[in-house]
Structure formats: C-alpha cells, structure tokens
Amino acid sequence: MAVGKEEVEEIVKARTDKREYRRIVLPNSLEVLLISDPDTDKCAASMDVSVGAFSDPDGLEGLAHFLEHMLFYASEKYPLEDSYSKYIIEHGGRTNAYTSSEHTNYYFDINADAFEEALDRFAQFFINPLMSADATMREIKAVDSENQKNLLSDGWRMNQLQKHLSAADHPYHKFSTGNWDTLEVRPKAKGLDTRSELIKFYEEYYSANVMHLVIYGKENLDKIQGLVEDKFKEIRNIDRNCLRFAGEPCTSEHLQILVRAVPIKEGHALRVVWPITPEIHHYKEGPCRYLSHLIGHEGEGSLYSILKTLGWATGLSAGEGDSSLDFSFFRVDIVLTDAGHEHMQDIIGLLFKYISLLQQSGICKWIFDELSAVCETKFHYQDKIQPINYVVSISPNMQKYPPKDWLVRSSLPSNFSTDIIQMVLNKLSPNNVRFYQAKYPVLLRKSPYSTLWHKPDTMFFTPKAYVKIVFTCPHASDSPEAEVLTNIFTQLLMDYLNEFAYYAEVAGLNYGISATECGFQVILVGYNHKLRILLETIVEKITSFEVKADRFSVIKEMVTKEYQNYKFQQPYEQAMYYCSLILQDHTWPWMEELDVLPHLEVEDLAKFVPMMLSRAFLECYTAGNLERNEAESMIQHIEDALFRGSNPICQPLFPSQHLTNRVLKLEKGKSYFYPVEGLNPSDENSALIHYIQVHRDDFMLNVKLQLFALIAKQPAFHQLRTVEQLGYITALLQRNDCGIRGAQFIIQSTVKDPANIDLRAEEFLKVFESKLYEMTNEEFKSNVNALIDMKLEKHKNLREEASFYWREISDGTLKFDRIESEIAALRQLTQQELIDFFNEHIKVGAPHKRTLSVRVYGNSHSSEYKIDKSSPAQASSVKIDDIFSFRRSQPLYGSFKGNHVKL
C-alpha cells in the first residue's frame, strides 16, 4: 500500500477546533492519525497495539503487562537503559503506558524542539527492542511492586473481583497485572524461561498492521508525515489478525448473585452490574448514553434525589464499563451513607422500581433529541486538553470506529431507535444482575464472674464465628511451679479433647487451649453451626478434670523438652526474651520453671487444678456470625457451669485479685544495659536489642513514633546490614508493651560483639538526624501518605480483626477507633513536630531519652563478654547485674486495665 493520504470521508472535528488532521497508512500497514497544531507548546505521540492481557498464555498471567514494562528499557539503536525516559524528562516531557484487556498503549509528550529525536527513540521500541536478560528480573519485581500497590486500591480490587466471578474459560476471568508468582515462581516450576516467553509473545503479536499511531506536532501536516514515514516505516508487519474473544464472560451461574466485599478505605458503596450488548455496535443510537442520562439523573424526581432526601446516598453514577467488541457491562454505582448501608435492600428495590418506571414510560424521542442537542453543543465547544491526554484518548479507538468518527467516537448520538434502546433496557432486569457492596466491639454484659465483649460482623459475611474466653486465675501464676502446672493442665485438656474435637476440625471448626500470663484461654474459630456444642464440651472437661497418670507423664516429657529447647533459640530471640523479662512485671524466668519440672508429679497437678480454679474471672470476646443473645446465652451457660450449683468449682475474684499488666518505667536520661552469655555455647552468633522507651499510649505520640520508624526502617537496614554487614538479621521496629510504646533495633551478628553493635546503632541515629532535617516537604508528605495507606488496609479475616480488638481489651486501652484517630492525628502532623519528637525521645544524648540494651554474647565474643561484664558503667549508663533486683527497684507505669466502660 502506498504511503499517503487515504481517500476517506473527512474526519469530523469540533467547529472551534483549528487543528489540522490527516489519516495515512504506511507501507507496513501502520495506520496513523496526524495532528498539526502550530499553537502547541508540547508535542505528543501515542501508539496503541491491539493486543492485551486477554492474550496472556495460560500460566503466564501478566505477560502482556510485563512486555509493556520491558519495551521502555532500551533498544538496539539506543542501548543505554532508561535513556529514553531520561531524554523525555530532560526535555520537559512525560512518558507512560498501560495494558488493558485487548490493548497496550504507549505514549509521551515533550517540548517541541526535542520531538524528532524523542520520536525516533520511541519508534525503536517497536522495531528492535532489547529486552535484556539483566533487566528481566528487575522489571518482574517492578510489576510485582505495582501489583502490591494495587492490593491497597479499592478500584483495582473491585475490578479483579468482578473478573474473578466470571466464567473460568473466558479470558475476562484472567489476572491481568501479573506478579512475582505468575511471572517467576510458576513459570520456573514448569521449566519455562519468562524472558524467552516474552520475546516469543512480542514476535507473535506485535505487528504494524494491528498498531494505531497518533502524532500531535507543531509543524504542518506534510512535515509531520515525513517524520512519521522516516521513523516508523521499519516496524515489521506479519499480517497479524486482531484477536476476537467471543462469548459472554458471565453465564447464568454468575448472575442473580450478591457479592459483599471489604473495602480498604472507610465508607460504603453499592455496585449493580448487568451484562449487555456493547454500545460500540450502536454508537450512533447511543442506548447506554440514553439510559445513563436517566438513571444517573440528579434532578427533582430522580432516583438519586429520592436516595439523597432519605439520607441514604451521597453520590450515584450510571453507564457502560468494561466494554469490548464482544461483551460489555452496564453499571450503577451508589455511594452510601451509614444509614444507606443499613437499607441496602431498600435501595436496590428503589433502583428496580425506577427501571420499571422507565419500562412503563417507554422510550421517549424528546428525551433523546434533548440529549443529542446537549451532546452536540458539548462536542463542538469543548475545551482543548493537553496533547498527551488527547492522543491517548484517540489511539485506542482507531480500531473500533471508522476514521471519520475517530474524534467523535460515541459522543454524538444522532439516530433515534426505540428498538435498540429498548433492547438494552430489557437487559437491566433482576434476572440478569449482580450486586457488589462493602463497628466496634460493645460490652454486652458485666457480672462478678465475667465480662462479655461482642463484635457483630460488618465485614466478612461468612457463616463463621470467633469466641475467646480468657480465664484469669491468680493462683495460676503465683509461682514458677504454678505456671508450669498451668501449662501442663492446658496441654492435657487438649490431649483429652483430641478425638472428639478432631471431627470438628475436619468440619472447619478449630479450637485451642493455652496458658496465659495469669491463667489460661480457650479460643474457637470457624463455622458457627456447631460451635456451641464444642464450647460446652470443653467447659465440661474443665469442670470434671481428672489427671490421668499415663497421659501426665507423656505431656510432662513434652513440656520438659519445650523448656529445654529454649536454650537453642536464636540469640536475637533470647535477647527479646530478656528484654521482656526486664520490662514486664509479674513474669517468671523459664530457667526457674525448668528447675521445678522434674519434681512435679500427678498428685501435684491433681491438687493444683482445684486450687487454680477456686478463684476465677472470665474475659470473653465473641464476633462473627453470632447474634448478641446467642453470645450472652453461651457465656451464661459457662457461668452456670463454673460458678453456680450446689458445689461450684469457682468463686469470683476478690477486688484485690484482679491482675494488671504493668511495665517498668525507665528513668529519663539513663541508658541501661544487660550483658549476658548466650544459652547455647555452640552458637557463634551474638545479638543486641537496643530499646528506646518513649511514651504511654497517645494517638499523636503514636503516629510520631510510627512515622519515625517508617522513615528510618530502610536506611537502618541499608546502613547496618548492607553497608556495614553487621548481620543478616537487622531490623528497626516499633515495640508495644501493654500500651507502653517504644522503638527497638534488633541485630544478630558474628562479625561484631553486642557492645560494638550498640555503638553502631547509635551512630546510625546520629547520621539519620541530618537526613531528617534534609527531608523535603514532598518526601515528608509522601511518608505520611504511605503510613495512612498502611493503616487503611483492612483486616483480611475474622481472626485478624479479633486480634486487633482483643489487643485493645487485653491492654485495657479500649481505643477501638484507633485507626481513624491515628489517621486524623497524622493529617495534622507537621515535619517540625516530627523533628521535635526525634530530638526529645530518639536523638543520641537527648536529656530525656531512655534506653535499654540487652546484649547476648555468642561463643565467638566470649572475651568481649568478660570485658563488658566487668567494666564499670560510664556516666548516665547503668549496668543491670540482676534482673529481678533491678525490676524490684524501678517504678512502674500505671495500667490501663480497670477503665470504666459502659454496657
């Protein structure tokens, strides 16, 4: 085919549009739209390739998207990696790309005087791209990172959910983005080389005859045409047919369903979706535009006006979405208030009543004519948009529309057809629909025997429940022997229940019984149908507990091995243990518990259990698919079994017996350190916990600490592990002990002893201080937004949600709105406030700073241990020789436990 102007009808453009347009087809069959705009400051180009994620090979989901990433790297003519992007940016431009179901689009803009070279660089991606082996692994990680970002986006998540709930044999069902698993792990397991498959995909699908190019230049059309002919003529043409994907993605089994989804962001939304005939086949008749105009109307008497008056909605939109040549969907999205969320079924009913009213009223020509006139005015008097946005809006549609309508597309409905509009309206029926939709625990009851917290399920909507009952028994933790016997008691209970509970676990109902710091706990999670039966069986085993000698010896042996294995823990785990032992009041060392174990016999446990249970208090938490009256009934049954009857096994606690978890309050301006030898003499590793105690739970102080930890985490890892090579285990983390907040370095090393590592951690903080001052306002805001995004991540399951709320109950903080309150505090936080916080609490040498260093010396640093142990402490530094003497000499933070809570 000769190069030149194609003899087609004139391209329709707006009356106010002074730009010139020309369609050409190169000899390689590349179809191009040239746009000349002498007034433009920027030039732009968009290349649309008619292949996308639908063409991904099975087992290589995301390959088309990965190819989009790889093409940008380099070409044979311009082999320097990222030189294209660098050139664009250095000349005032932008560049990007996207992959959709059936298209991949590449685009850029740039200053006019640099357009020719930019175009040459751009064209080479479609002529001789390099796709080097070196870049492959890096870009797979980039794709994975992009997917990780999308996991926190409600739009991406809802889009993937819509796809997932479709026919598995239709390409619409595919996961289009790709990640590390789909592009590296799974292909490798199948013996596939991703780069080889990538090159194969490019060679099979990238052909000039399925590409469409839009060029927006400052020169006249002839000069632009000459430029295009020169730069793009070498793109190969293999006469590839544009792929079609016939068939509907949603069959009858995927319709008439309600899908509840948990959003990342706060709020409620209702989405109603119908599969319809794609409007592209009737774009002059505009059936979707007609119906979206009415259903999305916001005037008096409209559906939205009613929902707004009722206080149920704050937004409503309607229209076609997810369309292709072969299938499409009509969508209604409603933003709900909390009250609207409670009346979701009523809202759906009103929507279908409105659609029914449209059916009864018939298709009105006057409405179509009015809409057509509005659309015509809007098109002909539209404002100019940036060239990069303009070319991207045109190129994907060049395959779908005839050239004369490339600019108009479906924006000018002109052919009134009752039949075609009615055909789409008929699709919007209850038989053809699917719905999408997305707060705190309350204290239900409080008695001398128990408290019951209940959290109704507003997120997961599954037939599952979570029940946690913590038995607070003061006698369970009043000595090392008592703690060991409590541990044996709980493991014997599990042993006795094993055969009965096994069938429950097979049926999806799991349980666990374990010792706690001041008693023991029972947890049940799973399908709620038979949960109460299992719970009552556990309670019956507790009330009728007897020690079986043969099982006692087995469990005792198992428990003994568990205690003996503590000395084989990693040194950093030992350091964490010692840190907790120092900080937390009312804890016994495992060494003392191991010492008493050999002397314990059946008779000791038989005497101990009745005494342990003689005084008890139950803290209960229920959540999920449980009505409040059912939860109350279960706890009432447990109270009756334990505390009532002619000879109850339990009595309520005396007021003085209610235990609280309290934490040592380190003295301001002091640095404490505890040197100790590792428990395993064969372990060469040493470890350090460098703990900085900061504050008692407070929303604003919390977010300052969290933001510091977020900003410092990666630099600490880079400096201490990557640069200084101190050790594989290197981390800077927040720490929370019963509501007392702080930060801690955790480092395990063979190359340096703990005292030296301690100095390196402090040296890092000195260097980091300058980075905190040098941080730009944009970097500060970016980190704040990143922390907000992390906080907005929803709980993934019932157990995770329960863990969050139980922490508030267990610590006594009861700040169930913690996420919302801390986000609000973050939004008010300034960079100077963060710096002030660092200077007061974290900065080396700060007069109010409080630190504790736990130094575990491995075998390779035994000589350094002797020096550290015997050397006198320096000024403002306190060596801890005996943990328990130190613990008894220090003040304690007040406990949050015992806060007054209304029922």
Tokens 């010492």 found at: 595
Q: Do 306 and 313 form a contact (C-beta atoms < 8 A)?
A: no
- Spatial distance between the Cα atoms of 123 and 228, rounded to a whole number of angstroms: 9
Q: Do 340 and 311 form a contact (C-beta atoms < 8 A)?
A: yes
| Nearest residue to 515 (alpha-carbon basis) of 499, 494, 498 | 494
Catalytic residue among 31, 61, 68, 481: 68
Listed in sequence order, the DSSP H helices in 600-667 are 602-614, 628-643
Q: What is the largest CA-CA distance in the chain?
A: 104
For residue 121, the tally of other CB atoms under 10 A from its CB is 21
Q: Could you tell me where the beta strands, DSSP code E, fall in 460-570?
A: 464-472, 509-516, 519-527
DSSP 253-299: GGSSEEEE---SSSSEEEEEEEEE--GGGGTTT-HHHHHHHHHT--S
| Nearest residue to 762 (alpha-carbon basis) of 845, 844, 676, 863 | 844
Residue 90's contacts (CB-CB under 8 Å, 6 or more residues apart) are none
Residue 612's contacts (CB-CB under 8 Å, 6 or more residues apart) are 473, 475, 476, 482, 485, 486, 489, 519
Side-chain half-sphere exposure of 380, counting CA atoms within 13 A: 8
Of the chain, the end-to-end C-alpha distance in Å amounts to: 82
**Opening angle at CA 515, ends 509 and 516, nearest 5:** 110
Q: Do 269 and 332 form a contact (C-beta atoms < 8 A)?
A: no
- Spatial distance between the Cα atoms of 527 and 462, rounded to a whole number of angstroms: 8
Q: Could you tell me where the beta strands, DSSP code E, fall in 265-414?
A: 268-276, 313-321, 328-336
- Spatial distance between the Cα atoms of 526 and 266, rounded to a whole number of angstroms: 26
- Spatial distance between the Cα atoms of 4 and 24, rounded to a whole number of angstroms: 5
Token readout for 74 is 């380099």
Residue 536's contacts (CB-CB under 8 Å, 6 or more residues apart) are 637
3-state helix, strand, coil in the chain (%, to 5): 45, 20, 35
Task: Give the CA-trace dihedral at 365, 366, 372, 374, to 10 degrees.
Answer: -160
Active site residue 234: no
What Rg do the C-alpha atoms of the chain give, in angstroms?
34
Task: Give the CA-trace dihedral at 858, 863, 865, 869, to 10 degrees.
Answer: 160
Distances (CA, A) of 352 to 84, 162, 359, 430: 53, 21, 10, 8
Catalytic residue among 139, 197, 808, 864: 139
Q: Is 170 exposed, middle or buried (0-12, 13-18, 19+ CB in 10 A)?
A: buried
Q: Could you tell me where the beta strands, DSSP code E, fall in 756-822?
A: none
| Crossing angle for the helix pair 133-150 and 194-205, to the nearest 10 degrees | 90
- Spatial distance between the Cα atoms of 172 and 326, rounded to a whole number of angstroms: 11
Q: Do 60 and 118 form a contact (C-beta atoms < 8 A)?
A: no
**Opening angle at CA 798, ends 792 and 803, nearest 5:** 75
Active site residue 139: yes
Tokens 């008890």 found at: 616
Task: Give the CA-trace dihedral at 77, 80, 85, 90, to 10 degrees.
Answer: -100
Tokens 């015509």 found at: 376
> Which amino acid would we find at residue 738?
C
3-state secondary structure of 615: strand
Catalytic residues: 68, 139
